[in-house]
Amino acid sequence: MISIYTSLYNVENNLYNWKQTLSNFQLFAEQVVVATTTDCKDKTIEILSEFCQKPENSKIKLVITDHKFNDLAFDGKLKADALSYCFEPYAMLLDMDEYMPLRFKPV
């Protein structure tokens, strides 16, 4: 019933554990939508594509855009694109540095 959507870019330079965050999102949502851009300065698209193709990450939908970093609305546009791919009745925006504690997961 829930889609979680977010944006993620330049993953090679991120200091937080984005893989753990996406895995956490999958515990709570039927769908996780991640938007990124071709304007990344590293191998983000290849890294995310490989990560999303693993069977344990089947809930993740990767959305690749061509938004540019110099656009002041860059992150908002990425998140809006991610939202447009959500198909569950409820959608929740979470940033990649946010985390859902397991105590909130229904048993």
Could you read off the pLDDT of 37-56 as tens digits, one per residue? 999 889 999 999 999 999 99
Helix (H, G, I), strand (E, B) or coil at 93: strand
Enter the pTM of the model.
0.91
Strand 31-37 and strand 60-65: the pairing is: parallel
Q: How far apart are CA 58 and CA 22, in angstroms?
A: 11
Nearest Cα residue to 4 out of 27, 24, 23, 31: 31
pLDDT, tens digit, for every residue of 9-46?
Answer: 999 887 778 999 999 999 999 999 999 999 988 999 99
